[in-house]
Amino acid sequence: MADKDESEKTIAEDLVVTKYKMAGDIVNRVLKKVIEACVPDASVRQICEFGDSLLNEETSKVFKKEKELRKGIAFPTCISVNNCICHYSPLESEPEQLNLKNGDVVKVDLGAHIDGFIAVVAHTIIVGAKPDDKITGRKADAMLAAHYASQVALRLLKPGNQTYAITEAVQKACEAFKCKPVEGMLSHQLKQGKIDGEKTIIQNPTDAQKKEHEKFELETHEVYAMDVLVSTGEGVGREMATRVSVYKKTDETYQLKLKASRMFYSEVRDKHGSMPFTLRSFTDENKARMGVNECVSHKLIEPFHVLYEKPSETVVQFKFTVLLMPNGPHKITGLPFEVEQFKSEHSIEDPELKSLLNCSANPKAAKKKKKKAVKEETATMEVEAAA
């Protein structure tokens, strides 16, 4: 076990930081283009295909000379609409194809990796909303709750802090807008080739989860995918009839009986390794669907279930990747959020949360501010001395 830890590459190395940041730049660029494609009447499946093709195209442009270096999709493009919470990435064979319409609340979720160093991101938009439109009501509540909850989480993602401090702060921020974080959702530590690292941050845990879920302390040179999912309703995810299309290989072993399953598993191992993938990425979708069943039943492959809130509710998601550097958290994915576009009757009144939100999340900006303050103080002292 000690050997494994010694060989584990972390962001203490400059090259590892570079690879994370390159993956982060790629997912941010792809996210922008995918959001631009989210227009009325657009096919959700086609947008997902577009996102995945961009992720493959962009990652293929970097580290071209290093033939052995693996890179590509770390999380396939998912477009979850309105009360759909997560992991909706439909296949061509789906009987009903979903198209977007004006006013839809759309969550775009995707990820890329370079040499196994993963950057993931999720952003929520409202289809057809123009920059000068004012969004009000429960949609605005959920958007603002998720935004402020993610901003509070970002400021608490510091070495020495406890994971449950983030859980509690996210809960408080959501409650201020009469919303709830989606129950039991996890934000994972990221490691090379591992999207679901050991350390996790849980949101809105049940009583049972509070007892079972391990609390952790954040440490320097760790990387996290902070995932904030907020609902206007109860915040309880349910599986519906929607078929799973996103899966991930586990570390389990089993001798598969069916030839179709063995061929499928072999392709997963060679093409995707330990990264999540969609059945859309296989040339023969029907064969892939046949092969996946035996793999899932013997836990060689795990499904990412499509979850839903009640139909009348809205779910919003913001996810970003953070490097815990010695000088503070470095957020490498995520797009700007236009707070002014949303108007709510509610606001954050909790003094601790307000104080946190007033702090800069950018360590460099905070440093510059401090230097400026010292300079001004020195200048004042010099003036006083001269007087």
Query: What pLDDT, in 10s, does the model give residues 104-155?
Result: 999 999 999 999 999 999 999 999 999 888 999 999 999 999 999 999 999 9
Query: What digits encode the pLDDT tens for the residues 302-347?
Result: 999 999 999 999 999 999 999 999 988 999 999 999 999 999 999 9
Percentage of the chain beyond pLDDT 90 is 86
pLDDT of residue 265: 97
User: If you classify domain 2-242+305-349 with CATH, what class do you get?
Assistant: alpha beta
Q: Dihedral of the CA atoms 69, 118, 222, 216 (nearest 10)?
A: -130
Flag the least confident range among 21-25, 94-98, 199-203, 255-259: 94-98
What is the average per-residue pLDDT within 81-87? Answer: 98
Q: What is the distance between the alpha carbons of residues 312 and 231, in angstroms, rounded to a whole number? A: 11
pLDDT of residue 93: 86
Residue 352 reports pLDDT greater than 90: yes
Mean pLDDT of the chain: 92
pLDDT of residue 67: 86
pLDDT of residue 387: 39
3-state helix, strand, coil in the chain (%, to 5): 40, 25, 35
In the chain, residues under CATH classification 3.90.230.10 are 2-242+305-349
Strand residue runs (E) in the chain = 71-81, 84-86, 105-114, 117-126, 180-181, 185-190, 200-203, 223-231, 238-239, 246-249, 277-278, 301-303, 307-308, 315-325, 328-331
pLDDT of residue 6: 52
Residue 384 reports pLDDT greater than 50: no
List the CATH code of the domain at 245-303: 1.10.10.10
Residue 366 reports pLDDT greater than 60: no
pLDDT of residue 137: 98
In the chain, residues under CATH classification 1.10.10.10 are 245-303
pLDDT bin (cut points 50, 70, 90) of residue 368 is: low
pLDDT bin (cut points 50, 70, 90) of residue 7 is: confident
- Cα angle 223-224-227, degrees, rounded to a multiple of 5: 165
Flag the least confident range among 74-88, 237-251, 254-268, 371-385: 371-385
pTM: 0.91
Task: Look up tokens 């400021």; give the residue.
Answer: 155
Query: What digits encode the pLDDT tens for the residues 207-224?
Result: 999 999 999 999 999 999
Residue 375 reports pLDDT greater than 70: no
Residue 365 reports pLDDT greater than 90: no
pLDDT of residue 97: 84
